[in-house]
Amino acid sequence: MPKITAAKVIVTSPGRNFVTLKIETDEGVYGLGDATLNGRELAVAAYLNDHVVPCLIGRDAHRIEDVWQFLYRGAYWRRGPVTMSAIAAVDTALWDIKGKLAGLPVYQLLGGACREGCMVYGHANGKTIEETIDNALHYQELGYKAIRLQSGVPGLNSTYGVSKDRYFYEPADADLPTENVWSTSKYMRSVPPLFDAARDALGWDVHLLHDVHHRLTPIEAGRLGRDLEPYRLFWMEDATPAEGQANFRLIRQHTTTPLAVGEIFNSIWDAKQLIEEQLIDYIRATVVHAGGISHLRKLASFADLYNVRTGCHGATDLSPVCMAAALHFGLSTTNFGIQEYMRHTEETDAVFPHHYRFADGLMHPGDAPGLGVDIDEELAAKYEYKRAYLPVNRLEDGTMFHW
Ligand code: EZ4
Ligand code: CO
């Protein structure tokens, strides 16, 4: 049996912060897992170092499910983003090890490819509709089959999804949280004209997506979904906060715009009612925040019973290790829907050399044994951790709101 001999938590900041777990075995093979929780990175690093790593030493690296259950049930305190990101990192690293020892890419261990590649969506954004469309045309030229559109809201200084650099969106931007101002009525009026202009400029062959980022009430979301119906969106994302899963019933009663939710979910329980009642069309939970490849597989299999497809989160705060894992998962999951893809900076890519590749709107994880992603530890050590928070939102009268 391959015995776990060491596990190291690597914190690095090549352009942004990442936490990576590296598990080593006595057979000379190691595995990597992403453990990055944006804005709360060191909590996961401490959880791993103080409470998880000591339990791993000496265990059989092949017993992925047993280790998962040990860490989940054995903590007594279940779920939550910190715990589940830590468990995800272990799980991902063990799949990486199993693939390397078998000489197979992880997607082969998961049942093999169900498709030629994973359709991804790119992020077009701009301060104005014109800028956003211009950016979207660029993505279309690059071959993207699906594009997310986020545009500035007239009357608001800044909003979610609109970046300073249009090709690299990074919301965790300050040493203390930046305070933004939000107006639902201004936002609601701004979205339909964006998609109207987008269909004129981009045509109907490209899938269009939009992220509301948890900012509407269910009835407001119903209204926006209905207003967007003529433009046939691929999905409307995170229309309302999903703690109350039954709230999605109200949105469903009012619109046929497909709904996606779940990038902040940690377990199958966060989505159980949403899936069983078919209140959503796409589940956005991903490897790093939802307990790793093993748990995500269960979630996807459950979702498949109810015609819900996957649409994993894939922003830049999910490291290339998570991206690779998500692609192995997506390639081998029958009810895969789409994968979010925000390119990492060159600095990040240099720290995490990888085999996944983009061509004709699809991404493929490559055929290297394991996940096909590595970490250059010497280079990683050059980038010191820098505290960085996500912004917060207040309404125009100063009330704290959702970001
Ligand atoms: O705001 O990953 O769909 N993508 C998103 C992301 C999230 C960030 C938070 O860390 O909503 O941009
Ligand atoms: Co989102």
Q: What pLDDT score does 168 carry?
A: 76
- The side-by-side arrangement of strands in the sheet containing 179-182 is 179-182, 392-395, 400-401
190 touches ligand 1 (CB under 6 Å):
no
The one catalytic residue among 72, 160, 169, 231:
160
**What is the average pLDDT score of the chain?**
97
Verify whether ligand 1 is closer than 6 Å to residue 210 (CB atom). no
For ligand 1, atom 11, name the residue with the nearest CA: 213
In 3-state terms, what secondary structure has residue 209? strand
pLDDT score for 169? 81
Q: 38 in ligand 1 pocket by Cβ < 6 Å?
A: yes
Share of the chain above pLDDT 90, in %: 97
Residue 111 above 80 pLDDT? yes
pTM, whole model, 2 decimals?
A: 0.98
Q: Are 308 and 281 in contact (CB under 8 A)?
A: yes
Out of 235, 313, 341, 393, mutate this one to test ligand 1's pocket (max ligand atoms within 8 Å of CB): namely 313
Angle formed at CA 155 by CA 153 and CA 160, multiple of 5 degrees: 35
Q: Is the CB of 263 under 6 A from ligand 1?
A: yes
Instruction: Give 281's pLDDT tier (boundaries 50, 70, 90).
Output: very high
Residue 47 is a catalytic residue: no
Report d(CA 313, CA 89) in Å as an integer: 16
| Residue 390's pLDDT band (cuts 50, 70, 90) | very high
Ligand 1 mutation target, pool 263, 312, 403, most atoms within 8 A of CB = 263
pLDDT confidence tier of residue 287, bands split at 50, 70 and 90: very high
Question: For the residues 396-403, what does the mean pLDDT come to?
Answer: 97
CATH topology for the 4-106 domain? Enolase-like; domain 1 (3.30.390)
Q: Specify the pLDDT at position 273.
A: 98
Identify the active-site residue in 123, 210, 213, 364. 213
Domain coordinates in residue numbering, the chain: 4-106, 109-367
Question: Residue 164: what pLDDT?
Answer: 77
Is 213 a residue of the active site?
Answer: yes
Is the distance from the beta carbon of residue 315 to the nearest atom of ligand 1 less than 6 Å?
Answer: yes
Residue 163: pLDDT over 90: no
Q: Which residues of 238-247 are buried (b: 16+ CB within 10 A; e: fewer)?
A: bbbbbeebeb
pLDDT over 70, % of the chain: 100
Distance CA 87, CA 77 (A): 13
- Predicted confidence (pLDDT) per residue in 223-255, tens digit: 999 999 999 999 999 999 999 999 999 999 999
- Indicate which atom in ligand 1 lies nearest the CA of residue 318: 2
Least confident of 42-51, 108-117, 135-144, 166-175: 166-175
Q: Which fold has domain 109-367?
A: TIM Barrel (3.20.20)
Mean pLDDT for 101-108 is: 99
- Asked if residues 36 and 44 have their Cβ atoms less than 8 Å apart, the reply is yes
Q: Is 24 in the pocket of ligand 1 (CB under 6 A)?
A: no
